């Protein structure tokens, strides 16, 4: 039951504004290492590979470049920070525009079970339903989901998220049980 107490009134206990970040050292190290690998493979192609090189030597720089570019782009365009304020939640990226969602516009929180487990947030913007997904591998997913549920009481949940989110009824029962 101690774990439940951690998520009760999370926005009051942890305070707002509050930010959750992907590990910045890992993010920037990966971006820099990938950029260096791309530069090195380009250098190899122009300075060490020629028509007399073996097929393996001709292929390796392209394989290195492909893998490094894939890693670089994933880290550049994946979610970097989530910021909670009293008015909205902001999803921040390094390589693309931030997404700001007002608490009153959130409609649904659900688990998206594709290849990778993702949390999908549905919201209304200009009377159109939009969705935003972020990975369950982002730091503190339960804390983030419970914070969203607390700030947007109108939000609906799918079966999985309904089991994960601490409802007002569970909060009251927990508080009464521990009051005695």
Q: What is the per-residue pLDDT across 6-29, written as a single tens digit (0 to 9) for each?
A: 666 777 778 889 999 999 999 999
User: How would residue 1 be classed by pLDDT, with cut points 50, 70 and 90?
Assistant: very low
Percent of the chain past pLDDT 70, that is, above it, reads 89
Q: ∠23-89-148 over CA atoms, to 5°?
A: 90
Tell me how far apart the terminal alpha carbons of the chain are, to the nearest angstrom: 15
In whole angstroms, how far apart are CA 137 and each of 21, 22, 39, 153?
Answer: 12, 9, 29, 25
Mean pLDDT of 134-160: 90
What is the assigned CATH class of domain 2-21+80-179? mainly beta
Q: What is residue 74's predicted lDDT score, i.e. its pLDDT?
A: 95
Instruction: Name the more confident of 159 and 168.
Output: 159
Instruction: Name the more confident of 18 and 169.
Output: 18
Task: Please provide the average confidence, as pLDDT, over all residues in the chain.
Answer: 89
What residues does each domain of the chain span?
A: 2-21+80-179, 27-76
3-class SS string, the chain: CHHHHHCCCHHHHHCCCEEEECCHHHHHHHHHHHHHHHHHHHHHHHHCCCCCCCHHHHHHHHHHHHHHHHHHHHHHHCEEEEEECCCEEEEEECCCCCEEEEHHHEEEEEEEECCCEEEEEEEEECCEEEEEEEECCCCCHHHHHHHHHHHCCCCEECHHHHHHCCCHHHHHHHHHHHHC
Match 């993702």 to its residue by tokens: 118
pLDDT at position 117 over 70 = yes
Q: What is residue 11's predicted lDDT score, i.e. its pLDDT?
A: 77
pLDDT at position 71 over 50 = yes
pLDDT at position 138 over 80 = yes
Contact between 99 and 81 under an 8 Å Cβ cutoff? The reply is no
pLDDT at position 129 over 80 = yes
Q: What is the per-residue pLDDT across 87-100, written as a single tens digit (0 to 9) for each?
A: 999 999 999 999 99
């Amino acid at each position: 039951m101690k774990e439940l107490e951690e998520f009760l009134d999370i926005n009051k206990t942890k305070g707002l504004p509050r930010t959750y970040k992907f590990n910045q050292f890992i993010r920037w190290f990966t971006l820099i290492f990938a950029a260096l690998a791309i530069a090195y493979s380009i250098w190899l192609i122009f300075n060490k590979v020629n028509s007399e090189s073996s097929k393996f030597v001709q292929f390796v720089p392209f394989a290195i470049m492909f893998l490094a570019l894939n890693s670089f782009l994933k880290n550049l365009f994946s979610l970097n920070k989530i910021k909670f304020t009293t008015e909205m939640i902001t999803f921040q990226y390094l390589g693309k525009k931030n997404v700001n969602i007002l608490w009153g516009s959130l409609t649904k929180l659900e688990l998206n079970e594709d290849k990778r487990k993702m949390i999908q947030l549905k919201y209304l913007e200009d009377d159109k339903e939009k969705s935003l997904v972020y990975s369950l591998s982002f730091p503190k997913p339960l804390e983030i989901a419970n914070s969203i549920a607390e700030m947007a009481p109108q939000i609906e949940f799918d079966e999985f998220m309904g089991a994960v989110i601490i409802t007002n009824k569970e909060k009251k029962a927990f508080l009464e049980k521990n009051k005695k």
